[in-house]
């Protein structure tokens, strides 16, 4: 017996869809851009961190001992000088009474000299390193102080250098004898034996607070005496004598400036013979 087998094929049916091929493409420009931004951010962060650390280190100041009002320094020694006006003197008088303080510090003693007007007393205090030795105090009356100023009148009135001096005009309006003076500058203050914020020839009253300092560095004058002479409108307001104890001797004096003392000023550095070693002229202008 025969069977008939019929096979039917539907050829019209659509072929099964083929899965699309997936490919990946790297966006190298975007990747490089992101990496550069990350590196740049890290550099900025590191720089700011190091900068803040350096700023904190620079702002650190020694606080163990309060800074003295008047300082004069050499390499191994510091000589301190402070020139102030006594606010307790009679303000109604025609001339104000300046207070002058000079302090000389070395390895053995500190000397403080105070001159006040109208009483004009000079007080010298000597304190050796050994604390067991009591301080020695001496006072000069007004009459004897007048005689002292008369003896020193030659040095205070001299306005010329020695004939053999090698005079040079340096920056900011100062003149120095280069054989004996290395530096002579007017400054706001002296920190660590060096002047800070040096003034020009014209100084406005709001550029400093009450006092300014005159810094001088002397050379080859050991064993001699020098003076800082402060003049206002050609009138001597302060004359401080200092002993030079080393070949390279740095010293400075502070001077209190009253608001009404605007005008022409001059500071002279004078030797024992009354000859100029350095001279600085400047003007104080109102605010």
Q: What pLDDT is attached to residue 35?
A: 95
Q: pTM higher than 0.85, yes or no?
A: no
Q: By three-state DSSP, how is residue 109 classified?
A: coil
DSSP code for 4: -
Query: What does the pLDDT look like over 199-235, one tens digit per residue?
Result: 888 999 888 888 989 999 999 999 999 999 999 999 9
- Give the span between the Cα atoms of 252 and 80, in whole angstroms: 7
Q: Which residue has the higher pLDDT, 64 or 183?
A: 183
* Structure confidence at residue 123 as a pLDDT band (50, 70, 90): very low
Q: What is the mean pLDDT of residues 14-29?
A: 73
Token pair for 16: 């099964």
Q: What pLDDT is attached to residue 221?
A: 92
The number of beta carbons lying within 10 Å of the beta carbon of residue 143 is 9
Matching residue, tokens 């620079």? 58
CATH number of the domain at 80-285, out of 3.40.50.2000, 2.40.50.140, 3.40.30.110, 2.60.40.1930? 2.60.40.1930
Rg (CA), the chain: 38
Q: What pLDDT is attached to residue 119?
A: 37
Cα end-to-end span (Å), the chain? 135
Q: Does 250 have pLDDT greater than 60? A: yes
Among 37-46, 106-115, 170-179, 219-228, name the one with the lowest average pLDDT: 106-115
Q: What pLDDT is attached to residue 3?
A: 74
Q: What is the mean pLDDT of residues 133-141?
A: 30
Q: What pLDDT is attached to residue 111?
A: 36
Residue % of the chain over a pLDDT of 70: 57
Q: What is the mean pLDDT of residues 233-256?
A: 91
Q: Does 174 have pLDDT greater than 90? A: no
Identify the CA nearest to 263 among candidates 235, 239, 238. Answer: 235
């Amino acid at each position: 017996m025969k069977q008939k087998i019929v096979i039917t094929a539907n050829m019209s049916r659509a072929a099964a869809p083929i899965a699309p091929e997936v490919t990946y493409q790297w966006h190298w420009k975007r990747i490089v851009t992101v990496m550069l931004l990350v590196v740049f951010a890290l550099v900025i962060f590191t720089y700011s961190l190091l900068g803040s650390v350096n700023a904190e280190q620079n702002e650190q100041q020694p606080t163990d001992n309060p800074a003295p009002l008047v300082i004069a320094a050499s390499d191994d020694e510091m000589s301190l000088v402070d020139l102030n006006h006594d606010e307790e003197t009679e303000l109604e008088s025609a001339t104000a009474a300046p207070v002058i303080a000079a302090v000389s510090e070395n390895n053995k003693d500190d000397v403080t000299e105070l001159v006040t007007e109208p009483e004009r007393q000079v007080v010298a205090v000597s304190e050796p390193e050994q604390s067991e030795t009591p301080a020695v105090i001496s006072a000069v009356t007004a009459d004897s102080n007048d005689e002292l100023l008369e003896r020193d009148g030659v040095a205070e009135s001299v306005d010329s250098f020695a004939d053999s001096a090698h005079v040079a005009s340096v920056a900011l309006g100062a003149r120095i004898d280069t054989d004996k003076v290395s530096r002579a500058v007017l400054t706001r203050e002296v920190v660590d034996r060096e002047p800070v914020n040096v003034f020009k020839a014209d100084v406005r009253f709001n550029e400093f607070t009450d006092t300014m300092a005159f810094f001088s560095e002397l050379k080859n004058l050991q064993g001699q005496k020098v003076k800082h002479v402060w003049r206002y409108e050609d009138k001597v307001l302060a004359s401080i004598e200092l002993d030079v104890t080393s070949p390279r001797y740095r010293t400075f004096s502070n001077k209190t400036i009253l608001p009404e003392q605007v005008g022409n000023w001059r500071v002279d550095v004078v030797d024992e013979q009354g000859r100029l070693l350095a001279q600085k002229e400047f003007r104080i202008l109102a605010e």
